[in-house]
Structure 1
Amino acid sequence: MDLILFLKALLLGMVEGLTEFAPISSTGHMIIVDDMWLQSKDFLTKYVANTFKVVIQLGSILAVVVVFWKRLLNLIGLKKETNSAPKGERLKLSQVIVGLLPAGVLGVLFEDFIDEHLFSTETVLIGLVLGAFLMIFADWSGGKSTTTETVDQITYKQAFTVGLIQCFSLWPGFSRSGSTISGGVLVGMSHRAAADFTFIMAVPIMAGASLLSLVKNWQYFTMDALPFFIVGFVSAFIFALLSIQFFLSVIGKIKLIPFAIYRIVLALVIYSVFFN
């Protein structure tokens, strides 16, 4: 593996890790860095490049598992609950499933339409801006009436409503974490509770989609591509781990509006550079 290829894998993994769970759209950033700059499809085949993006996403998912491993084991019954929440006030696996259902069903029904019509730079820019407006609206309205301070206090109604709002994230550029955290804040969750719920929900939905994609594209795991995959996976894992811990430490203080402003500025910069 030559140095240039190593650096490209490292950079793409870093972009994935830093942006996957922040409410700024990893899809938008991957389009900017890869499709508009590095052009991984030029130094890999199209299908190997797409498989690589799935592999680095798995690195990001592993970072969530590391951060929330106790909570995840509690949810599936492999570890006794040790937090101080009353027994009737603990996040349940069924609540996570309720939150996943709306976007999961719509994603299956409209997968072909989304892949064919929504994966373009133009649609991503629209998603970045509209998602930013949703985040600003959430902070201005829902952020003033917090009733749920921790993820253990989430109700089934809140989980389902967040799941409905998460459907916006099927539009590339909208951001899964941006729409889900906004939805949580709008239904009375604190920013930290909404972020925790978002990250926990991300594990099954992202892992399932990624593993399914890997099964379909297993033939592209060649010896030539494997070093590239490994470097990208490790890079995504490390930077996602740092990103998640940093984001959880600041989200309650700075909330969503700074991220929304960044998204709007990013969309304007991309538009001015590539479409004028």
Structure 2
Amino acid sequence: MDLVLLTKAAIMGIVEGLTEFLPISSTGHLILAGSLLGFTSEKAKVFDIAIQTGAIFAIILFYWRRLVDTAARLAGDGQSRRFVANVLIAFIPAVILGLLFGKAVKAHLFTPTVVATSFILGAFVILWAERRPASTARIHSVDDMSPVDAFKVGLIQCLALIPGVSRSGSTIIGGMLIGLSRSTATEFSFFLAIPTLIGAGAYSLYKERALLSVSDAPLFAVGLIFSFIFAWLCVRWLLRYVATHNFVPFAWYRIAFGIAVLITAHLGLVNWAD
């Protein structure tokens, strides 16, 4: 395997791990990073989706005890069944819309310009959400969420089909807007990521299996490993961060980054490949 290609895979894994659970769009950053690295083939698009599984392994490891305890009590504990049901309810809308429109979205919206625009528009939503007083939060634990709350978060997650919107950003900020506390919205976003990203990765690998071969295993392995490591570090940091901080700095980052992409593209300073 080409060392340069493996280096690109490592960089893409780092980008995925650092951005997957922050409200700044991992898909958008992967599109931009791939454009800069010349990593934009059809196989690279499958790679981008597949390495999200590495980030999910970090979530599974981080919440291993909670997940095992929930599974063990599922048969006889109503709270555990409600928790699992809520995650599945929130998962369903993205499955339906992804299957219906995913191909069209990838064909027409996976471009640096769309990503940059989504960065900026999403930032203003974050700023608006953070202007609301914290006292408006009515739910302070994922165990207190109702099926209706979960379904609302699931509908909002569908906005993340547009690259640059951010799956984490849409579910966290959307959760806050419907009454979840910042920490509860963040934690539910983590749990919802497990079926969402594993499902997306498995479906993409199956659908595009003709593009792949055994020789691609080292490439995907490197991406998964780096994605896992940096996602683990990011999740640990983010849970501490949301306990005492808001998401306003991420909004300003999105605006600055989005404007930088648009300006460099317009002036021809960077050849952002569509």
TM-score normalised by structure 2 residue count: 0.88
Counterpart CA distance in 1 for 2:214 and 2:157 is 38
Q: 1:104 to 1:6 in 2, by over 3 A?
A: closer
Asked if the contact 1:136/1:257 (under 8 Å) is kept, the reply is yes
48, 60, 68: which one aligns with 1:53: 48
Asked if the contact 1:90/1:152 (under 8 Å) is kept, the reply is no
Q: Where in structure 1 are there 5+ consecutive unaligned residues? A: none
* Superposed CA offset, 1:5-49 (max 9, x none): 3322211110011111111011221122111x11124xxxx3332
Query: Alpha-carbon deviation of 1:217?
Result: 2.9
In structure 1, the partner of 2:270 is: none
Letter in 2 for 1:51: V
Q: 1:242 to 1:258 in 2, by over 3 A?
A: same
In structure 2, the partner of 1:33 is: 33
SS in structure 1 at match of 2:222:
helix
64, 84, 99: which one aligns with 1:69: 64
Counterpart CA distance in 1 for 2:133 and 2:94 is 22
Counterpart CA distance in 2 for 1:112 and 1:8 is 25
* Superposed CA offset, 1:46-69 (max 9, x none): 333223223311111111111122
Q: 1:55 to 1:155 in 2, by over 3 A?
A: same
Q: How many residues align?
A: 265
Matched, 1:250 2:241: yes
Q: 1:211 to 1:164 in 2, by over 3 A?
A: same
In structure 2, the partner of 1:146 is: 137
Counterpart CA distance in 1 for 2:47 and 2:110 is 17
Asked if the contact 1:91/1:151 (under 8 Å) is kept, the reply is no
Matched, 1:108 2:107: no
Matched, 1:198 2:197: no
Counterpart CA distance in 1 for 2:33 and 2:206 is 26
Asked if the contact 1:15/1:26 (under 8 Å) is kept, the reply is yes
Asked if the contact 1:106/1:167 (under 8 Å) is kept, the reply is yes
Counterpart CA distance in 2 for 1:129 and 1:123 is 10
Moved more, 257-266 or 157-166: 157-166
Q: 1:168 to 1:216 in 2, by over 3 A?
A: closer
Matched, 1:9 2:9: yes
Counterpart CA distance in 1 for 2:145 and 2:39 is 42
Asked if the contact 2:175/2:185 (under 8 Å) is kept, the reply is yes
Query: Alpha-carbon deviation of 1:87?
Result: 6.3
Overall identity of the aligned pairs, in %: 38
Query: Alpha-carbon deviation of 1:152?
Result: 1.5
Letter in 2 for 1:153: D
Letter in 2 for 1:230: A
Q: 1:55 to 1:171 in 2, by over 3 A?
A: closer
Asked if the contact 1:142/1:187 (under 8 Å) is kept, the reply is no
Moved more, 159-168 or 177-186: 159-168
* Superposed CA offset, 1:136-191 (max 9, x none): 22211263412211211212222122222222212111001101101111122111
In structure 2, the partner of 1:236 is: 227
In structure 1, the partner of 2:118 is: 127
In structure 2, the partner of 1:207 is: 198
* Superposed CA offset, 1:91-131 (max 9, x none): 52111122223333222222233122221112112211121
TM-score normalised by structure 1 residue count: 0.88
Letter in 2 for 1:14: I
CA-based RMSD of the aligned residues comes to 2.2
SS in structure 2 at match of 1:22:
coil
Asked if the contact 2:19/2:29 (under 8 Å) is kept, the reply is yes
